[in-house]
Amino acid sequence: MFSPDFKIESSKDANTASLREAIAQIGVLKKIERGKVMLSNATVSDFFFVIRKGVFKTVKYIDRKEFILGFTFPGDIDGEPLALLGHSLTPFSVRAVAASEVLICRWHDLETFLQKEKYLVTVNYFLIQYIAILQNRLIESIALTAEERYKNLIQHHAQHLRQIPISDLARYLGITKQSLSRIRSKKF
């Protein structure tokens, strides 16, 4: 199965090590209330964040209907990589589904801390990880059933799933709450 996460704390490569060191220096700890929006669609973002505690959902609104693109969990990095390319508007929203704590890191501070060459290598690494996450989510949504996707979430994030409202989880899986209840009643 896929693991569509960008887990900075568990990765062992050199790029992640320098990013971890930079985050420890430049990250600003912030408590986020349940329901608070970290990134809002149609705004410009100049930061990324590392989730220390809590769960976030990424959503896209189409004709005022909310489509959940994915969830991020403790240890994950979240943000808008298009912000790296200039002052692009964020095409989605990221909202806390549980009380959370994050380390907020400004892209400019990361560039200053790492200096130009290491910064560019780190940004390339960040973009590659982000693309991999998007590819995995797309493949999962096409290739796996809702039950298989739910099993994958249990395998990777069982301890955090109870923080996600059932209605959000069902919408993410593309099924009704009743169908999700039937899936959840099975023993995995």
Give the mean pLDDT of 155-175: 93
pTM > 0.95:
no
Signed CA dihedral, 172, 174, 175, 180: sign only: negative
User: 58, exposed or middle or buried, with CB in 10 Å at 0-12, 13-18, 19+?
Assistant: buried
Give pLDDT tens digits for 35-79: 999 988 777 888 999 999 999 999 998 898 889 999 999 989 898
- Class at the top of the CATH hierarchy for domain 14-144: mainly beta
Measured distance CA(152)–CA(175) in Å, rounded: 16
Please report which helix (H) or strand (E) contains residue 97, including its range: none
Q: If residue 96 lies in a helix (H) or strand (E), which one and from where to where?
A: strand 93-96
Residues near 152 by Cβ (< 8 Å), separated by ≥ 6? Answer: 1, 2, 3, 140, 144
Rounded to whole angstroms, the maximal C-alpha distance in the chain is 52
Question: What tens digit of pLDDT does each residue of 94-150 get?
Answer: 999 999 999 999 999 999 999 888 888 888 888 888 888 889 888 998 999 999 999
Length of the chain: 188
The per-residue pLDDT for 59 is 93
Highest mean pLDDT among 113-117, 172-176, 183-187: 172-176
Instruction: Locate the domains of the chain by residue range.
Output: 14-144
